[in-house]
């Protein structure tokens, strides 16, 4: 402190902005502003384009009472089942993906030998790079026939559970098949974020648990899970974000109908998702029908936005109670990085040397 | 993507083949292919140059690829870009916005669209030209059954999900002497909006109004079927399943078995000839205010002769009666002229599996083309 | 409950690297033994081999024996988890479980062994352990508050309470005061003095005054150079080590001439 007061005058001179600094600041500021503008532009486009369809009387407007939008009383009775289907398919997928993803992440972070961990992490990241149309084809050609006998079995023996009731699929194009493929697609996001957070668990806490005589599993339960809980929840929500918007694979695999149905093993009663419905019907739709489809897109936009905001809220919610947009400073920083990386589709390679024996004694 | 690329390769090969035949033709001094009703002979097209931008109906896609390649051989200076990713709706939307020289569409312009076309094209409006005809094939896969015959009533019952198993009395009655298993019927339909669906639901609505009570729509109107994306999705799913039955453009069914459909008192199998005959017999000009417009309504109930395939479908190319640029008008009419020429229709039949349009329809289109400037 | 520890011809390796070479020493029950020496001399590593905590690092292994009342920790079929339940450890930096209350922290180890303990037993145990760690009076009114709300010294004593709640036979302390202020350090040192009435305590420290204050016997470790293994140079009564050590290196170190 006393040092800095001595060199005070010189330092204040140095704080004068230099041209390069100013230019860079201008560039980065405009980049930051442009993303806001783009987002606002997208929202505005969705709202402006969809308003005519949302406000129209669907029964008396000939264009809306036929074709892809035919048979619905209003925009809301059209988008309702679609919104339900979107969330339902994603939730089923997450229910399947989460245990597996957390399992893989734990295996990578706490069980596997380091070399295998690196390899596995690489494989999981590779999975994220597979285009969704490939997953769609895989779903149609491989998973549909593969899962068909299981679905017939579920329907036959567990059909008394409403989830498995109804006329069982004979081609495999059920929401269950779609959800399995969707689960594989969201697996990398949940896995890599969870893995990052598991790896961030303070060594100190882990050793505390081990020194008390906990087994590895007890150590994980005692220290890793409590530490990573909020991070894993937001990883799941980010996975949900991806599942909600997934289009191609769902459109290719699931045999859709616009209705609300919880049944998992039928092909006639699968709730359609918003994204898939747009993809399937946009080409044939005309004028107001397109506006209606854009309106469903607006609903999807709102749902996704809500899920992402919830993810951030949970991530940042610490016992201290931080504000939504304040980036936490200490430990959660790693989570924030992991999130940012996941959103950018990239991965922060964790420096495994953190876990090396160096510096002991 | 793969399919698309394969299509391109096929188109290139077709173009090569055409170039050869075209050379042979001029050497022997024979008349230009498709002379007669054809307004776009090679002698007139060789000097043309420019770019035609179009898009729309994916049903036409394979045929358009073949036509584009074939036309290129005749008019090397002309490039045709047909964007099939837009679908019929997108084609019309882009046409009405003025970005397309013509739109491919499985349905002719509706009154409100025709009104919008007048704003874009001038008081003459736009004409719908039925350049592409094909049939809706009823494909099935049922263990132990190779040939299937269906009456329109039975077909409607199956797709309305009123018949649920293959050994139903109605199906038995259509197929005397065939042993039908008790397998459950899975109807396979399109999950995406489609002109094929529009045609097929229209057919069911006309021939079996008592059974088919759902609306005529380009989106399959009843839940409970196995809905698949695209014609190829339907074909693949029918092929992979057992007890499956679906509908698809005949051009896309590959080696999957197709049922014969009852017309009058006989069951007619799909053939290009039978589709051409069906179109000739069943179409009636639709109400229109545009001179030269050739919108057609199909009256399926007229198809009782026994040599016409009962479920034909028509796809249109839609263009302005008056172009802003006379040179562009010449380009487009030359291209459409090529499409409806004997050669153009044969190439589409060979490469896309479509049925040639009836001669009198070609003559009418040709007459309309002459009025476009 | 307090047991002796006998280290025999012990070599410690991280994979191929030998970290500690050829240590033999006997630690008496109910005594405080201090490990001192310069950084990197292997004293912490050796401490960790006494409850097999070094095995947390992949590739770490030992040759030789560590006998606790005659039972070899590294004998065939010995489960490190069991070893750690009998030999407690306190770390450099206080590490209470952040999501747990003070009470739950104390009970964490006990809960591992025995999931269901009667409420009364649990409360008695919490009081006893916190009393044992000289913390009871400071926290008895806020047992349900998070352990992380305590000061550093209190947290460290909470960790000691957590370690002694499972009634270990030996208590290992790895520089327990290095992150604490002098007053907290004093509190912990006082506690160590009391603990030796019931436990065998082994403590690693960088602070020679602390070693002199709390320990009965002191072991001095040194290292010949970077990449060389640490060795036990001299092990004797604390007064001997600090007043008239046999080895020159020991004298140099305790008199502050190096290290």
Residue of B nearest to A71 (CA): B221
Check residue B125 and report its DSSP letter: -
Helices (H), A70-143: 75-106, 114-128, 132-138
Tell me what pLDDT residue B2 has.
42
For residue A224, what is the domain's CATH number?
1.10.3720.10
Residue of A nearest to C205 (CA): A361
Question: Do A and B touch (≥3 CB pairs < 8 Å)?
Answer: yes
Q: Which of C36, C40, C89, C113 would best serve as a mutation to test chain A binding (most A beta carbons within 10 A)?
A: C89
**Separation of alpha carbons A20 and A33, rounded Å:** 20
H/E element holding C194? helix C182-195
Domain for residue A320, yes or no? Answer: yes
Provide the pLDDT confidence category of residue A60 given band limits of 50, 70 and 90.
confident
Q: What is the mean pLDDT of chain A?
A: 82
Instruction: Tell me the residues of chain A between 328 and 347 that have a Cβ less than 8 Å away from chain B.
Output: none
CB atoms within 10 A of CB C39: 11
pLDDT (tens digit per residue) in C59-75: 899 999 999 988 899 98
- B105 part of contact set with chain A, CB < 8 Å: no
- pLDDT tens, residue order, chain B (373 aa): 444 444 444 444 444 444 444 443 333 333 334 333 444 444 456 678 889 999 988 888 889 999 999 998 888 889 999 988 777 888 888 899 888 999 999 888 888 888 889 888 888 889 999 999 999 999 999 999 999 999 999 999 999 999 999 999 999 999 998 999 999 999 999 988 888 898 899 999 999 999 999 888 888 988 889 999 888 889 999 998 899 999 998 888 888 999 999 988 889 998 888 999 899 888 888 888 888 899 998 889 888 888 899 999 899 999 999 888 888 999 999 999 999 999 999 999 888 888 899 988 999 999 999 998 8
pLDDT (tens digit per residue) in C150-190: 988 899 999 999 998 988 889 999 999 888 888 888 888 98
pLDDT (tens digit per residue) in B172-202: 999 998 999 999 999 999 988 888 898 899 9
Residues of A with a Cβ under 8 Å from any C Cβ are: 113-114, 202, 204-215, 218, 222-223, 226-227, 319, 356-357, 360-361
Q: Which of C108, C163, C175, C179 would best serve as a mutation to test chain A binding (most A beta carbons within 10 A)?
A: C108
**Cβ-defined contact of A68 to B218 (cutoff 8 Å):** yes
Domain for residue A124, yes or no? Answer: yes
Domain for residue A126, yes or no? Answer: yes
Q: Which of A277, A286, A291 would best serve as a mutation to test chain B binding (most B beta carbons within 10 A)?
A: A286
For chain C, which ranges sit under pLDDT 50? none
Q: Please give, rounded to a whole number of angstroms, the shortest distance from the CA of B73 to a CA of chain A.
A: 31
DSSP-derived pairing of the beta strands B244-249 and B186-190: parallel
Do the domains at B6-134+314-369 and B136-274 have one common CATH topology?
yes
Cβ contact B43:B70 at 8 Å: no
Tell me what pLDDT residue B85 has.
79
Cβ contact A247:A101 at 8 Å: no
- C81 part of contact set with chain A, CB < 8 Å: yes
Chain A positions in Cβ-Cβ contact with residue C171 (cut-off 8 Å): none
Its CATH class, for the domain covering B6-134+314-369, is alpha beta
Domain for residue A216, yes or no? Answer: yes
Cβ contact B189:B158 at 8 Å: no
**Cβ-defined contact of B227 to A257 (cutoff 8 Å):** yes
Q: In what order do the strands lie in the sheet with B244-249?
A: B77-83, B49-56, B102-105, B312-320, B126-141, B244-249, B186-190, B226-228
- C163 part of contact set with chain A, CB < 8 Å: yes
Question: Do B and C touch (≥3 CB pairs < 8 Å)?
Answer: no
Residue of B nearest to A256 (CA): B227
Range of the domain at A284: 45-354
**Cβ-defined contact of A205 to C44 (cutoff 8 Å):** no
- B246 part of contact set with chain A, CB < 8 Å: no
Selecting from A206, A222, A360 the residue whose C-beta is nearest the C-beta of C108 gives A222
- Spell out where chain C has E strands: 5-14, 17-27, 32-36, 60-68, 71-72, 87-90, 170-174, 200-204, 217-223, 230-237
pLDDT (tens digit per residue) in A268-322: 889 999 999 999 888 888 788 889 999 999 999 999 999 988 888 887 765 433 3
Chain C positions in Cβ-Cβ contact with residue A205 (cut-off 8 Å): 95, 97-98
Tell me what pLDDT residue B157 has.
94
Q: Over pLDDT 70: what percentage of chain B?
A: 88
Superfamily of domain B136-274: Periplasmic binding protein-like II (3.40.190.10)
**Cβ-defined contact of B193 to A133 (cutoff 8 Å):** no
- A248 part of contact set with chain B, CB < 8 Å: no
- C113 part of contact set with chain A, CB < 8 Å: yes
The owner of tokens 């349009």 is: B357
Q: Which of C29, C48, C11, C6 minimizes the C-alpha distance to C235?
A: C6
Chain B positions in Cβ-Cβ contact with residue A267 (cut-off 8 Å): 186, 225-227
- A131 part of contact set with chain B, CB < 8 Å: no
Q: Please give, rounded to a whole number of angstroms, the shortest distance from the CA of C106 to a CA of chain A.
A: 11
- Spell out where chain B has E strands: 49-56, 77-83, 102-105, 126-141, 149-150, 186-190, 226-228, 244-249, 260-263, 266-268, 283-285, 296-298, 312-320
Tell me what pLDDT residue A286 has.
78
Q: Is the pLDDT of residue A15 over 80?
A: no
Selecting from B92, B93, B191 the residue whose C-beta is nearest the C-beta of A256 gives B191
Chains A and B form CB pairs within 8 A to the count of: 109
pLDDT (tens digit per residue) in B233-252: 899 999 988 999 999 988 88
Q: Which chains touch B (3 or more CB pairs under 8 A)?
A: A
Tell me what pLDDT residue C200 has.
93
Residue B216, both tokens? 């005529």
Cβ contact C10:C63 at 8 Å: yes
What secondary structure does DSSP assign to A41-84, as a single string? Answer: HHHHHHHHHHHHHHHS-TTT-TTTTSGGGTT-SSHHHHHHHHHH
**Cβ-defined contact of C58 to A114 (cutoff 8 Å):** yes
Number of domains in chain A: 1
Cβ contact C102:C145 at 8 Å: yes
Residue B111, both tokens? 């009154």
Tell me what pLDDT residue B84 has.
83
Domain ranges in chain B are 6-134+314-369, 136-274
pLDDT (tens digit per residue) in A203-248: 889 999 999 888 889 999 989 998 898 889 989 998 998 899 888 8
- C23 part of contact set with chain A, CB < 8 Å: no
Q: Which chains touch C (3 or more CB pairs under 8 A)?
A: A
Q: Is the pLDDT of residue A341 over 90?
A: no
Residue of C nearest to A217 (CA): C112
Q: Please give, rounded to a whole number of angstroms, the shortest distance from the CA of A52 to a CA of chain C.
A: 52
Helix, strand, coil content of chain C in percent (nearest 5): 40, 25, 35
Q: Over pLDDT 90: what percentage of chain A?
A: 45
Q: Please give, rounded to a whole number of angstroms, the shortest distance from the CA of B29 to a CA of chain A.
A: 45
Q: Is the ipTM of this complex over 0.90?
A: no
Chain B positions in Cβ-Cβ contact with residue A167 (cut-off 8 Å): 184, 224
Chain A positions in Cβ-Cβ contact with residue C86 (cut-off 8 Å): 213
Selecting from A214, A360, A361 the residue whose C-beta is nearest the C-beta of C112 gives A214
Chains A and C form CB pairs within 8 A to the count of: 86
**Separation of alpha carbons B63 and A306, rounded Å:** 46
């Amino acid at each position: 402190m006393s040092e800095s007061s001595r060199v005070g005058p010189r330092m204040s001179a140095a704080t004068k902005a230099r041209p390069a600094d100013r230019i860079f600041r201008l560039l980065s500021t405009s980049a930051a502003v442009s993303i806001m503008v783009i987002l606002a532009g997208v929202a505005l486009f969705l709202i402006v384009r969809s308003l005519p369809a949302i406000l129209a009387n669907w029964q008396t407007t000939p264009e809306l009472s036929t074709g892809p939008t035919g048979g619905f009383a209003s925009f809301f009775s059209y988008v309702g089942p679609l919104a339900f289907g979107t969330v339902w398919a994603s939730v089923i997928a997450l229910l399947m993906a989460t245990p597996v993803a957390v399992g893989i992440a734990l295996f990578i972070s706490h069980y596997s030998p380091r070399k295998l961990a690196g390899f596995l992490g690489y494989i999981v990241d590779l999975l994220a790079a597979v285009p969704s149309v490939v997953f769609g084809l895989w779903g149609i050609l491989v998973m549909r026939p593969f899962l068909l006998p299981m679905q017939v079995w579920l329907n036959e023996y567990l059909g008394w559970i409403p989830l498995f009731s109804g006329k069982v699929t004979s081609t495999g194009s059920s929401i269950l098949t779609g959800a399995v493929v969707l689960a594989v697609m969201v697996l990398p996001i949940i896995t890599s974020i969870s893995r990052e957070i598991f790896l961030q668990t303070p060594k100190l806490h882990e050793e505390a648990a081990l020194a008390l005589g906990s087994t590895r599993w007890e150590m994980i339960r005692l220290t890793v899970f409590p530490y990573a809980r909020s991070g894993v929840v937001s990883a799941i929500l980010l996975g949900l974000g991806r599942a909600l918007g997934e289009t191609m694979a769902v459109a290719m695999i699931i045999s859709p109908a616009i209705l609300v149905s919880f049944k998992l093993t039928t092909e006639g009663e699968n709730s359609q998702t918003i994204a898939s419905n747009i993809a399937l019907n946009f080409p044939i739709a005309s004028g107001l029908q397109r506006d209606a489809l854009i309106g469903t897109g607006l609903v999807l936009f709102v749902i996704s936005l809500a899920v992402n905001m919830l993810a951030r809220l949970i991530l940042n919610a610490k016992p201290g109670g931080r504000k939504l947009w304040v980036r936490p400073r200490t430990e959660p920083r790693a989570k924030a990085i992991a999130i940012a990386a996941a959103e950018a589709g990239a991965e922060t390679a964790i420096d495994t040397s953190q876990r090396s024996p160096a510096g002991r004694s | 993507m793969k399919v698309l690329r394969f299509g391109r390769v096929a188109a290139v090969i077709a173009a090569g083949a055409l170039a050869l035949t075209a050379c042979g033709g001029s050497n022997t001094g024979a008349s230009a292919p498709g002379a007669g009703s054809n307004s776009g002979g090679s002698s007139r097209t060789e000097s043309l140059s420019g770019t035609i931008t179009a898009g729309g109906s994916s049903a036409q896609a394979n045929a358009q690829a073949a036509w584009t390649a074939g036309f290129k051989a005749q008019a090397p200076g002309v490039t045709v870009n047909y964007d099939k990713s837009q679908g019929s709706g997108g084609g019309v939307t882009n046409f009405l916005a003025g970005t397309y020289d013509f739109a491919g569409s499985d349905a002719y312009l509706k009154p409100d669209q025709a009104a919008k076309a007048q704003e874009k094209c001038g008081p003459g409006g736009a004409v719908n030209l039925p350049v592409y005809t094909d049939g809706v094939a009823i494909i099935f896969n049922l263990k132990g059954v190779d040939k299937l015959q269906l009456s329109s009533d039975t077909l409607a019952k199956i797709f309305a999900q009123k018949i649920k198993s293959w050994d139903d009395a109605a199906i038995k009655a259509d197929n005397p002497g065939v042993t039908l298993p008790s397998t459950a019927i899975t109807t396979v339909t399109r999950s995406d909006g489609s002109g094929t669906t529009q045609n097929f639901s229209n057919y069911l609505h006309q021939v079996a109004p008592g059974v088919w009570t759902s609306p005529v729509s380009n989106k399959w109107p009843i839940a409970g079927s196995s809905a698949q994306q695209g014609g190829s999705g339907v074909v693949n799913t029918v092929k992979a399943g057992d007890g499956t039955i679906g509908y698809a453009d005949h051009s896309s069914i590959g080696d999957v078995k197709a049922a014969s459909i009852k017309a009058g008192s006989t069951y007619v199998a799909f053939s290009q000839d039978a589709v051409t005959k069906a179109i000739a017999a069943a179409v009636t000009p639709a109400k229109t205010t545009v001179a030269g417009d050739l919108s057609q309504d199909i009256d399926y109930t007229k198809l009782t002769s026994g040599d016409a395939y009962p479920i034909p479908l028509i796809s249109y190319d839609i263009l302005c009666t008056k172009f802003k640029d006379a040179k562009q008008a010449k380009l487009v009419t030359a291209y459409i002229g090529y499409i409806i020429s004997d050669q153009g229709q044969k190439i589409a039949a060979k490469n896309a599996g479509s049925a040639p349009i009836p001669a009198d329809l070609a003559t009418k289109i040709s007459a309309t083309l002459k009025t476009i400037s | 409950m307090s047991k002796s520890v006998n280290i025999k011809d012990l070599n410690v390796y991280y994979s191929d690297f030998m970290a500690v070479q050829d240590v033999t020493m006997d630690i008496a029950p109910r005594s405080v033994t201090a490990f001192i020496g310069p950084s990197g001399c292997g004293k912490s590593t050796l401490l960790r081999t006494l409850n097999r905590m070094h095995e947390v690092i992949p590739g770490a292994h030992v040759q030789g024996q560590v006998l606790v009342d005659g039972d070899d920790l590294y004998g065939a079929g010995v489960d490190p988890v069991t070893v750690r339940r009998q030999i407690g450890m306190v770390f450099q930096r206080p590490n209470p479980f952040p999501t747990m209350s003070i009470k739950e922290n104390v009970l964490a180890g006990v809960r591992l062994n025995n999931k269901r303990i009667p409420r009364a037993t649990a409360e008695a145990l919490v009081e006893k352990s916190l009393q044992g760690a000289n913390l009871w009076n400071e926290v008895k009114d806020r047992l349900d508050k998070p352990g992380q709300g305590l000061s550093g010294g209190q947290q460290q004593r909470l960790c000691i309470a957590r370690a002694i709640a499972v009634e270990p036979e030996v208590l290992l302390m790895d520089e327990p005061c290095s992150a604490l202020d002098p007053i907290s350090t004093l509190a912990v040192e006082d506690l160590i003095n009391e603990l030796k009435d019931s436990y065998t305590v082994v403590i690693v420290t960088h602070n020679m005054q602390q070693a002199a204050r709390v320990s009965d016997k002191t072991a001095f470790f040194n290292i010949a150079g970077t990449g060389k293994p640490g060795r036990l140079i001299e092990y004797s009564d604390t007064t001997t080590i600090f007043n008239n050590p046999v080895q020159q290196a020991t004298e140099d170190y305790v008199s502050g001439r190096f290290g």
